Each structure stands twice: as structure tokens, then as C-alpha cells.
Structure 1
Amino acid sequence: MEGPLCKWTNVMKGWQYRYFVLDYNQALLSYYTSKEKMIKGDRRGCVRLKGAVIGIDDEDDSTFTITVDGKMFHFQAHDAEDRSKWVSALEDTILRHTHRRRPKKSDSSQIPTLNDFERKLTETDAYLQLLINQIADLNLKIENATTENDKEKLVDIKAKTLTLLDGVKHTIVLLQIAKNTVHPVNGLIDDNKNEAVSQQTTPKNLPSVSQSTKDRRNSSASRVVTLEASKKEESLKLESDLLNLNGVPETSYSSSDDEEFFYDASEETPGSTNIDIATKSIDESSGDSDKPAIMNRSKIDYDSLYDDDDEEDLGSIEGHGSVISHLISQVKIGMDLTKVVLPTFILERRSLLEMYADFFAHPDLFISIADYETPEERFIQVVRWYLSAFHAGRKSSVAKKPYNPVLGEIFRCYWDIPNTSQQNSRTIADGPVPWAKSDNLAFIAEQVSHHPPISAFYAEHFEKKIMCSAHIYTKSKFLGLSIGVHNIGQGSIYLLDRGEEYTCTFPSAYGRSILTVPWVELGGAVAINCPQTGYSANIEFLTKPFYGGKKHRICGEILNSSKKPIMSINGEWNGVMYAKKSNGKTEVFVDTKSMKIIKKNVKSINEQEPFESRRLWKDVTVALKLQDVIAATNAKSAVEQKQRDLVKERQESGVKWENRVFHQLGEHWNYNTPLTRRLSTRLQ
């Protein structure tokens, strides 16, 4: 494949036209100053593609990146269609050269080496891909099924195959973790050095090949793979000799002095592969004899683990490179990650439902909306609370992912409002949190759907007659070097005494630099509206551009009922935001650095129902706190398997799932007994 692309250069701080040629066999992307120079063979530079990672920006439909050799290269296609063609061709090239087998150097009767281990993983990957292709064929057969009976049988086969697929993927990830335990990864591995690993350097605790494994090698499927592999290896050896003659560079380069630093040199750039990264094996981090045993449950204070907000920084992901690289090899740019199993070590010690509860970490700010007299003041306060919610929900810059809630999972809590007297307060037994009082802000959330993943939550303050109801469908997408999570849904705030409703949408979240030091940012445009008063706000969460700019920026404006701007807002959503009024006066709008986060009150885990978040995930939380990845993975798998068993039981008994405290109405999910309904019932 060949054609024009623009390439970013740091020296010129801009895009330069170049003519590119993709060599599929050599895994090389060469570029020239023009097509004529290409014909003459005057190459300007090249990018090696073996071991490279492609990335795209969800906010820009024409740019893409290639990360390899410790550098990040930025390219710009003519349009979205042109980018799609290049990205697809590049991905196919990378995948082809990433999964090549190396010549076998040891007899099967000897102790297996690291290369043997790698070969078996590659072979397993090949079978995994076959399984994925078969599932795709099943989908076509289901769509084309002529009778309902045939369709049901095919759907049943697909369900069982998906379970098998999930098990195979999980097994591969565990094997990668095991490999990383005995042979920690320090950046990228040089292929020649890796092949030179002798039998003496083989880890002693690597298990020998079992008889069953030898038998499997003799199976017909294994023989086919071996024959095909040997043919490919002969071809690859010849090809390798030719490449050496042609002088394929050891690293990507540019031949001109003025383009010495034409790759991205920002703080998100992966470090040099020559840097020695001090990493500890998972076994070392989890095998500390001073740590309490997870299984001794009677001595564990689960509640204190959740009260501890400190999350260990992941640091450089290169220490987990084998796991991340394997996962990346299984997905394509733009692929939906809803059903992709992510490694346990990236999990945050709380459920997604609890993260939504943390949106109300400034309960005094939320309930004060009802205190303002004019529509303009109330709307401004709604926007102020909205912009304060995300820094508490995203507690730190540590890029970790909350637990995926299981179907029917519940989280309940309440907040004491600062500087309020509780002398005349009373317990609201029919509220979302029956033990909360009338002057508390009570919260409840439920996972109302698993596929697609939809969460619903509800909050109310009885005395202020204010409530909030929302539902969010999280749709994850793989972007190469980033993961994008689109939060699809709507939230509504109701002021019962005013008869006003304020609707809002939610920004997308992005996990950036997933191969190096991950960090989180928000992006996208959101809208806040009040139909009763006509006030509205348009807020944009700005993602950081690679060629400059700051992180975590927002900008927006508030419009009155005449659609005239009365205030503009800018700043950082996790820092200080400023408001500029129509008279030109500027003032601090929200200062998240100085705002105190109010601790939520959650019932002790020992008193919770089995389906409540903290009790459900407690063993995973303990293991993560102790940095015992294997125990955390096992505990997480146990939770997920329990849910699969429950689904199977319902299917066998013909019982339809019923949500606990929310119900669906059109595209919305509403709380069953909101404050409006309970108050109207009392008046009757």
C-alpha cells in the first residue's frame, strides 16, 4: 500500500506532506518527500512495525499514531475513510509479524525453555483466533436461520462457545502473568537476544511438559499447526536473510538532521527501551509473609479497606507488558471492549456504582440548589454542583477501572450535611436508605442491565424536597494507545417545591498511555437544560492535544431564557474553574482543591445483603489492597462465575429477571418509589 500522508514534526511544530509506502513483508513503513523521490529510492525515513501499536483519537477522525522503539509517531490522513484504510493495513501487518513462530531449538524431551513457553502461547492464540472466527460464523448462521427451533439451538451453541472463549482468554492472561512472575518484562524484548536464551537461563520453577501436553502435541490439529509452522519458519528464515541484506534498520529513523526529533516528545511518550525499569514480580509483591492471609476472614476489617481511599499508582505498565501486549493483540481499533476481560491489576477498589455515589461527595452544594430564590441563581448552582462532581468521582490521577457491577448489584449510602442540626430529624423508613434521616442525602444505585451495561442511581433529600435520578450506559472502545468510555444516558434533578427539572448528559472518559504510565481525562460536550425556566448551559471537556495544551480543561457558557450568554466558564474540572459574567467580572466558580469531600455513610459489610457492592466484592478488595493479583483474579472469577450460574438457573427454570428498585420506562430507568410518588401518596 502506498500514498500521501502528513507527518507531524516537533522541530517545525506542524504537519509535513510525505509519500508513504507500506511494505507488508518487511513490516516497514517508509516515507519520501515526494512520489518521484520514492521512485528514485531516496528514502527520507522509516518506521519499523514489528511490535508497534496503532492508536487513534476518538475526537479526531483523520489522525493516528504509531508507537514503537520508544517513540510515538503522529500521522494525518486525508479523511476518516483514508485513515481507516491505513490503520487496517498497518494492523494487519503488525499482527502478521507479531505472531510469527521462531525455529525450535530444543528437543521436546528436554526441560522447556522460555521460547517453548512463548511458542505454546502463540499456538494457543492461533486456536483462540479460530474460535473467534467460528463465533462470527455462528452469528451469520443465527441471522440466516429459517426456523425458530434452529435459531434456538444455534443461540445455545453460541452461549456455550462464548463461555469457552471467555475461559480460553482468561487462561492466556493467567499464563502471561505466570510468565511475568518468573521472567519480569523490562520494556521491549530484543528478538535476537530472546532467541539466544539458553537452557541454563530457564527458570527452574517452570513446570515440565506433562504427558497430557505431549499427547496433545501428537493430536491431528497440533500436527497441522506444526507442519504449517515449519513451512512458515523456512520462509521466514529466507525472508530474514533478505532483510539483513537490504539493511532494514534496527530502529525507526529519519535521515535528515532537522527531523531528529520528529516523534512526539511529550510527557506521555513511552520511555526508551534501554532504560532499566526496576520491577518486582507479582509473586514477590503478593508473597510477603508479613501480610495477613486473605482467607482468615474473621480478622479482616473490610470496612476500613473501603474507607482507605489511597490507590497505589500503577507506575509504568511495562512491568505488566506481557499481559497488556497480549490483550492489545486480541482487539482491533474501534472494537467494543464491553465483553473483553481486562487484567485484574488495573482494577480500582470500588464498584462503578460506588463511583457514581461519589458524584455527591459535596452534598451541601447539591441540596443548596433548592435554597436560591431566582431561576438564574438556581441554574448557576446546578452547574456549579455538576462541575464539582467529577473530581470526587475520579478521586485521583491513578488510571484504574472500577469493578463492573453484576446484574442486580446494589449500592446504598447517605451523607450527613455539614452545619445542620439533627434534633428534629426523623428516619425515613420508606426512603431509598431506610436507616437514613430526613436531613440526610440518601443514595441508591442498581445495575439494571449487564448486556448492555446500564447503571441507574437515585438520590434525595427529604426536607429540601430535592431529588436526582440518572441512568448511564457505558460503552467502551479500544483506541490503540487509549481506551475510551462513552457514558450514554441522562440525569435529572427535580426541585419539587419549584416544579423544576434540570436535565444533564455526561462526558466520556479516556484512559491514556495504556502501555506506559496510564492517566485519565474526560472529553466531549455536555448539555444542562431546564425546560421550565428556559435556562441552559453548554460545557465542553477538552482532551489534551498531542502538540501542546493542558490536561483536564473545560470551557462553557450559561444562557438565559432569551438564549443570551450570562456567564462563561473555564478552568480545570479537577482544579480551579473561573466564571466571567456578562459585566466582565471574573471570579472563582469552583475550587475543587479547597472543597472538603464529605465522607459517605455505608452500612457495615457484615450487615449488608449478599448483593450489595462492598460485600459482593470484598475478597477482591482485600486481595488488591495486599497487591495479591492472583488472589484478586480468583476472587473476581468467583463473583463472575456465580452470576453465570444464576443466569443458567433462571434459564432452566424459565424465570425472568426482575430489577430490584428501578424499572424501565421507554429509554429511561426510574426509581420505583421516588419522593414525588411517596409525597403524593401521603397527601391522599
Structure 2
Amino acid sequence: MIRALTSRRWSLRRDSGSASRNCPAEGAAEQDSAQPAAVDLPRTRDGEIDYDALYEDESDSDLGSMENHGSVVTHLLSQVKIGMDLTKVVLPTFILERRSLLEMYADSFAHPDQFVKIVDQPTPRDRMVQVVRWYLSSYHAGRKSQVGKKPYNPILGEVFRCHWDMDGMPENNANNDKEVGDGPVPWCTADQLSFVAEQVSHHPPISAFYAEHVNKRIQFEAWVWTKSKFLGLSVGVHNIGKGTVTLLDTGEEYTLTFPNGYGRSILTVPWIELGGSVVIECVQTGHKANIEFLTKPFYGGKKHRVTCEVFAGADKKPYYTAQGEWNTRMDGRWTETGRSEVLFEVSNMKPRRKRVAPVSRQAAHESRRVWRHVTCALRAADCDAATRAKRSVEQHQRDALKQREANGEKWLTQLFSPKGEEGWEYNTPLKKRVSATKTTPQHKSTDNADSTR
């Protein structure tokens, strides 16, 4: 679902040895002077840098690999020990991906139709399998490059919003262009899937996010934070958090956890691996999926393998199994009938483009506006400018913290609130906003319907 889970808490320091170039640096001021850069950058008709085009540009401007930066490798090795927490460890600029972690979380819905199809399934078993299909097929979407890179660490209070158009959206419908007016993206229509994420805490670094489709009456909310450790030639990231898919018409809630992540070969050409156990379960139906992300053995074996077993109630035998690789293909099998199927095949699943408001119309705390000059410098292959821009963003955050402390002010989140001892919830989810009048559930089937398989 979220490739960024593997690299959440690395901070950054200037990479010595890079030549400085003329890419604008980030500052507290909102000035966008377009200066010439060492490489061609997209421009508006007025000659200004087109930041929207920069964010939509998926070309991989590789600034180098770790093995080409001997002084950086030496510096890294001087800081770390086996098992050490990586919160204070710095990494070079060239390993950054050109977007915030909050934006990367949106990749969970890069196949929005797979998500909303959960609602259309006729039985609890079908719905659970569709939740598994959506969940596992979402992980490949964040892979923009064959080289493992890390997103920007969001600053406290940072927000990212986007939405997706859906297949089969009705045309010539008077209500099709009517804005919802509330929810995570107020300018969306009821037939679009909308998403919002907020950095709700800095210590620990917690990100909370939420998505909904109004007409399908489905929502998802989650919170995640990580602990990172140095493992020698790898970085291990333990993901702490939970997500919940809610179907308003059936009253079902599917809770899920996240796999651990590993940044392998961090001193040469980094790559991402997922590992560990994940559980998806629905208390209302008693269905449960046990998923294992298998790490590659030291000798032989395949990368990115996943196995899955889905159970009903207290049954010891799974009614559905699946196996394969999360970044290529997984095959499923209904054990009672022996019928096999393709759970998903990545080559046939092109991620749908998300829609984001232009940077010029975003608030100062929205992700693409916060990091626009860092993104510009990275696209221009200018490590020094990227480092300066990133430092400026982080310094602005530190200054704001000092100001709050001096005034005795407490940080207040915008869109999410604490839930329980460690969880977070969206303040105005679809479930709270819908009419108090209960609609008749669309699905009244039972597991007996599965006997037709």
C-alpha cells in the first residue's frame, strides 16, 4: 500500500561534493522567482517555474547512488551501530523522492475502482476477498523507480488533499457536477473518491489519512508511525498503526495493519522490501485474512513474495488462499470449489492519476506548496539547492515550535483528533455526515450464497 512506510524517519544533511546551481531555495517568504537552472524545467507562459508540472513529472532524475559518494558512505558509517535507532541519522539528498510522505500515502488508492468495488460484492466472503485484493494490489503503485528512495518527512500540520475520477462516472447527470461541499475535498462530486492526510504529531511522527466515496457510501481512515533501526547493510522499519474500511450500508468494518519495511543495500543501490505479518479482520462477519510478506532469503529465493489465507469465523481451514508477488501478480483459489483466479496482475493495472489543486491555490501548509522548491532543486539535479531548501522548511518548523513554547500555546490538529490511547480519527467522516435515517442495506446475503461457487 505505502512504499514510504520503509523510510519514514530519516533526516537529511547537506551532501558535500555537489556543485551548487541556480534553483530557487525554500524560504519562509512566498516568493517564486524563476531563476535559470542547469537543466530544463517546465515553465508557465509567464516564464515562471511550473510547480504543478514538476509534481506530475514521474521521470527519475537519479542524482547518484551511495557507492558513487564515498565521503557520504564514510560519514554514515561513523554515525550508526547495529540496532541503533535512526531518528538522528542523516542521509544524502540524492536519496530523496520528489514528494511528501503524505502524498505517497495517497498511493493506497491509486486503483480507486478496486476500493469502491468492495461495496458491490454480494457476500461477506466476496467482500473480504475484495478488501484483500485492493489492499495487496495497492503496494506496487508507489514504485516510481527501480531504486529505493525516501519521501520528504512531513512537517507538523502539513496537509495533502487529492481526488480521483472513477470508471463509469455518470454523464449528463444534473448531480454529476454538484460539489459535495464538505468532507476531505469539498470541491469533489459524490461520484469521485476523495483523500486527505495530515501530519498530526512530530514526536512520534504520526501521519493520519482518510478517504471516502459518497455515493458508494464507503470510507477509510488510518494512522501510521514508524520505528527505524540500522541492521548493517539494511534499514528496518517497524510500522505502528491501523486502518479501517467502513461500509455504511452493511455496517461492516474491516480493520487492517501494515507490513514492516526494509531498505536493502543502502550503501550501494537501495531497494525496498516488505516483510512481516498483516491481519485484516471484520468483527461484524467474523472473517479474517492472515497475510505474510516474505523477505528474500540470503541465498536464492524470490523477492516480494506474499501468501494469504482467508478464514470464516472459527473455521480452521481457509476458504480462500492467494500467493505471488505484490509487485507483479498474485493468484487466488477458492478452496471449497477448487476454482482458481488471478487476484491481480500489475501489468494490467495502470495507476489512476490523482487530481490535486494547483500549487498557486494551495494554502501555505499544503504538501506541494511546502516542498515545491525542494522538488524543483531535485528535478534540476541540484543537491545543494535541495538541501538548502529542505533546511529552510525544517528551520521554519523549529522557529514555529519555539514561538508556541514562548507563548505557552499547544499545537492543535486541523482535521484529525486523538482516539483512545494512541489512535487517531477523522473529525467529520462520511459516517457522521450522512442522514440519520437508516437506509435499507444493499446486501442481505449470508455465507450460504457462497455455495454457488
Q: Please give the secondary structure, in 2, of the residue aligned with 1:377.
A: helix
* 1:414 corresponding residue in structure 2: 163
The correspondence of residues 285-324 of structure 1 with structure 2, limited to 5 A, is 290-291=38-39, 299-313=48-62, 316-324=65-73
* 1:156 corresponding residue in structure 2: none
Which residue identity is paired with 1:368?
K
1 CA distance for matches of 2:292 and 2:347? 21
TM-score, normalization: structure 1?
0.58
Which one of 648, 664, 684 corresponds to residue 418 of structure 2? 664
* 2:333 corresponding residue in structure 1: 580
Which residue identity is paired with 1:574?
N
Bigger Cα displacement from structure 2, 584-593 vs 347-356: 584-593
Identity %: 57
Which one of 119, 122, 131 corresponds to residue 373 of structure 1? 122
* 2:267 corresponding residue in structure 1: 515
Q: What is the deviation of 1:353?
A: 0.5
The 1:596–1:625 alpha-carbon spacing in structure 2 relative to 1, beyond 3 Å, is same
The 1:660–1:579 alpha-carbon spacing in structure 2 relative to 1, beyond 3 Å, is same
* 1:533 corresponding residue in structure 2: 285
* 2:428 corresponding residue in structure 1: 673
Instruction: Indicate if the aligned counterparts of 1:321 and 1:515 stay in contact, CA closer than 8 A.
Output: no
Q: Deviations over 1:319-367 (max 9, x none)?
A: 1221132122112111111233322111100100011001100001100
The correspondence of residues 466-505 of structure 1 with structure 2, limited to 5 A, is 466-505=218-257
2 CA distance for matches of 1:496 and 1:592? 29
1 CA distance for matches of 2:233 and 2:94? 18
Bigger Cα displacement from structure 2, 468-477 vs 391-400: 391-400
* 1:556 corresponding residue in structure 2: 308
2 CA distance for matches of 1:349 and 1:486? 23
Q: Deviations over 1:414-444 (max 9, x none)?
A: 0000222152322111111011110000100
1 CA distance for matches of 2:359 and 2:22? 27
* 2:395 corresponding residue in structure 1: 641
Higher relative contact order (CA closer than 8 Å, sequence separation 6+): 2
Q: Please give the secondary structure, in 2, of the residue aligned with 1:310.
A: coil
Q: Please give the secondary structure, in 2, of the residue aligned with 1:664.
A: strand
Q: Deviations over 1:194-222 (max 9, x none)?
A: xxxxxxxxxxxxxxxxxxxxxxxxxxxxx
- CA-atom RMSD in angstroms: 2.4
1 CA distance for matches of 2:372 and 2:300? 42
Gaps of 5+ in 2: 1-9, 24-34, 439-453
2 CA distance for matches of 1:411 and 1:458? 11
The correspondence of residues 224-623 of structure 1 with structure 2, limited to 5 A, is 282=19, 290-291=38-39, 299-313=48-62, 316-422=65-171, 423=173, 424-425=175-176, 426-563=178-315, 564-582=317-335, 583-623=337-377
Instruction: Indicate if the aligned counterparts of 1:294 and 1:622 stay in contact, CA closer than 8 A.
Output: no
Q: What is the deviation of 1:487?
A: 1.5
Q: Please give the secondary structure, in 2, of the residue aligned with 1:421.
A: coil
2 CA distance for matches of 1:460 and 1:513? 38
Instruction: Indicate if the aligned counterparts of 1:294 and 1:623 stay in contact, CA closer than 8 A.
Output: no
The 1:396–1:415 alpha-carbon spacing in structure 2 relative to 1, beyond 3 Å, is same
Instruction: Indicate if the aligned counterparts of 1:355 and 1:394 stay in contact, CA closer than 8 A.
Output: no
2 CA distance for matches of 1:615 and 1:283? 23
Which residue identity is paired with 1:408?
G
Instruction: Indicate if the aligned counterparts of 1:490 and 1:505 stay in contact, CA closer than 8 A.
Output: yes
1 CA distance for matches of 2:233 and 2:119? 44
The 1:561–1:407 alpha-carbon spacing in structure 2 relative to 1, beyond 3 Å, is same
TM-score, normalization: structure 2?
0.86
Q: What is the deviation of 1:542?
A: 0.7
2 CA distance for matches of 1:547 and 1:288? 49
Q: What is the deviation of 1:556?
A: 1.5
The 1:661–1:682 alpha-carbon spacing in structure 2 relative to 1, beyond 3 Å, is farther
Question: Which one has a bigger Cα radius of gyration?
Answer: 1
Instruction: Indicate if the aligned counterparts of 1:415 and 1:440 stay in contact, CA closer than 8 A.
Output: yes
1 CA distance for matches of 2:151 and 2:206? 14
Which residue identity is paired with 2:406?
E
Which residue identity is paired with 2:208?
A
Instruction: Indicate if the aligned counterparts of 1:429 and 1:435 stay in contact, CA closer than 8 A.
Output: yes
Which residue identity is paired with 1:339?
K
2 CA distance for matches of 1:419 and 1:611? 34
Q: Please give the secondary structure, in 2, of the residue aligned with 1:449.
A: coil
2 CA distance for matches of 1:301 and 1:289? 13
1 CA distance for matches of 2:346 and 2:417? 35
1 CA distance for matches of 2:110 and 2:202? 26
Instruction: Indicate if the aligned counterparts of 2:41 and 2:380 stay in contact, CA closer than 8 A.
Output: no
Which residue identity is paired with 1:601?
R
Q: Deviations over 1:291-329 (max 9, x none)?
A: 358999961010011111222346642112211321221
Instruction: Indicate if the aligned counterparts of 2:66 and 2:72 stay in contact, CA closer than 8 A.
Output: no
Which residue identity is paired with 1:656?
K
Which residue identity is paired with 1:381?
Q
Q: Please give the secondary structure, in 2, of the residue aligned with 1:565.
A: coil
* 2:27 corresponding residue in structure 1: none
1 CA distance for matches of 2:216 and 2:144? 28
2 CA distance for matches of 1:363 and 1:299? 33
